[in-house]
Structure 1
């Protein structure tokens, strides 16, 4: 009898140890509220709408994260993350099942990680999310309105490597064999897409190289990124076309205020970013963009941001930023492009660690460098994380 009890106890112990080394976590965000949007031109064209707004501070999502101990300090990992519109229950990111992220990998504290699948580029991971006071959320208020390549740029069929943390320094490199993002080639005024599939002939796909480096030491943070995007042959009729974009940004936390600043350049086209998320049927379309690529030889922009996060008390913060997107001489001459400027303000209040209230207002002049195009948005809502 005692041996039976001992054996049962040992088996239970082994089972507990095994389960402790492997886990799967369900997580997500639900975010909704009200929003007013006004878009106008100096000639009187425009629209203003008021209604429900979804995924305003953070895109609505649910996902699964998993990890298994492989021994020797190595782990097998995966993430499957789906974006959805809580207004009507439909999937976002082109109706993909796991459109936000879908990857698997192996990692270790000693050598870093290798991942493959649909992932974020390093401009988003290293520059956009950590530096932007709005965390690449709040629609047109985030820095992605000026730094398109850092605005939650998701690229499919990507192989990524990141180094381990070396006294605060990390770096990474990734390559997408087929990004799955749509594209426009202005030289022919035509359009095309690499699709969601994967063709093994490289020229049949829109490809992307992404590089990044970051350093964090106490209140100081700095990061750099570089992305090179190559068009598919069918889009450019066999001619060579690519977009290059690099960014430098950083922040310093003085406790009473956290200051952020950044600068970047994009040449031979534009990355329009992910837009404002699900807006609801009653709201005006987001003028900033929907994740497309524009291949435009000899066209370029410079990007700027200055921002601040001000803690009011332990449960509330004020977010501020100014961004600017300046076109080069070719854009001014050909398209009469003008400087895009934006002023942004938000307030968040934490009811708990998982649930917060937010309010925001932002105004943007010369949206998308279009002369006199103006966009103003005001909203409030609640976000719950689980």
Structure 2
């Protein structure tokens, strides 16, 4: 990343003139700009009836950070990640840039506080199964095949929240976060007491998480765990009898030894995001090896869902993938994945006579990091 020192002294003086109560610091802000650009070409062969067999896409992520340190030792600032629109269609929608991560923070010897749109602590501390490059059979590949995430229910959510992290002590760190409204971010005013049919039927989400890292000679251990739970917005008898409770937890760990990394991840979503009486669990294992500019990996993911409310039991979705990455030059890498999947839970939008979606996904990526 390149650092750009701004003339903050002049800005602070101007702000102080506008408001006599403005708190100032002699230390200037350091503004850091960085990011990545990912150009993908994808080939898919599956049982979806109306899906194209090839796709090309560009995903860019720009990170912006402004940080300062006060004379009393307090570190504070702003952090954001800007991305192009991934969910729209057409060039006009794709040219819209939005920020999924955006928060202010304060930190010191007592820990760190984040205020804004960021991940819950359980997601920050999750230890995923190892992967290289694109990620093989991790949660992200489902975007291309129309399948759901192979991770815990609140993976990748950037709702507005309050977060606290403890300092790191002997390799151990913990945290807690509070999200007033599920699905509410940025300038959204989630004042409605009841939300129906939107998937954001929960409020007052509490998340706990912890991680531990330790090295024993050539062996590196990393472990993490987290849990999140919340309340239903609508507590009427009709909703409570059909909407599943919100509670998800997960654990994961990896072991590294001389270029090899092996590990796994397990989650239990319970009824979260499902109907009352449904249940969902999943797990993943992975092994990677890195030497010089080359890295290779293989992993396997499995999700088992019981749709008791629909009379269907033991739907199993599996995916396993092989991947490689090559560092062609500083900041430039070539990456490739092949993923084999079989989703019993995908029962609609299929070709005639097909009861589940199975297929193969190839992805080739050119990635630039700066």
TM exceeds 0.5?
Answer: yes
SS of the counterpart of 1:124?
helix
Q: What SS class does the counterpart of residue 70 from structure 2 fall into?
A: strand
The aligned residue for residue 39 of structure 2 is 32
After TM superposition, the structure 1 = structure 2 runs for residues 270-349 of structure 1, keeping only pairs within 5 Å, are 294-311=273-290, 313-328=291-306, 330=308, 334-335=311-312, 338-349=315-326
Higher helix share: 1
Distance, in Å, in 2 between the alignment partners of 1:72 and 1:195 is: 31
Residues 217, 63 of structure 1: CA spacing in aligned structure 2 closer, same or farther, 3 A cutoff? same
- Check if 1:199 corresponds to 2:190: yes
> CA distance change for structure 1 residues 381 and 21 in 2, over 3 Å: closer, same or farther?
same
- The match for 2:14 is none
User: How many residue pairs were aligned?
Assistant: 321
1:23 is matched with which residue?
30
Provide Cα deviations, 1:279-335, integer angstroms capped at 9, x if missing partner. xxxxxxxxxxxxxxx342121111111101111x2111112110100123726x623
CA gap of 1:301–1:130, structure 2 versus 1, over 3 A, is: closer
CA-atom RMSD in angstroms: 3.5
1:220 equivalenced with 2:232 (yes/no): no
Give me the whole-angstrom Cα distance separating, in 1, the residues matched to 2:221 and 2:211: 11
> Deviations along 1:218-249, whole A, 9 cap, x unmatched?
21000001011444339996647532110010
Name the structure 1 match of 2:174.
171
- Rounded to whole Å, the distance in 2 between the matches of 1:299 and 1:354 is 45
Aligned to 2:82: 82
Q: What TM-score, normalized to structure 2?
A: 0.75
For structure 1, the residue ranges without an aligned partner over 5 or more in a row are 1-10, 12-17, 182-193, 270-293
CA deviation after TM superposition for structure 1 residue 381, in Å: 1.7
Matched, 1:381 2:361: no
Mean Cα displacement is larger for which, 202-211 or 341-350? Answer: 202-211
Counterparts of 2:336 and 2:71 in 1: how far apart (Å)? Answer: 47
Matches within 5 A, 1:1-386: 22-40=29-47, 45=49, 47-55=51-59, 60-85=60-85, 88=91, 90=93, 97-98=98-99, 100-108=100-108, 110-127=109-126, 134=135, 139-140=141-142, 145-149=149-153, 151-155=155-159, 157-180=160-183, 197-200=188-191, 206-207=202-203, 208-218=205-215, 219-233=220-234, 239=240, 242-269=245-272, 294-311=273-290, 313-328=291-306, 330=308, 334-335=311-312, 338-366=315-343, 368=345, 370=347, 372-386=356-370
> C-alpha distance in 2, partners of 1:355/1:64?
20
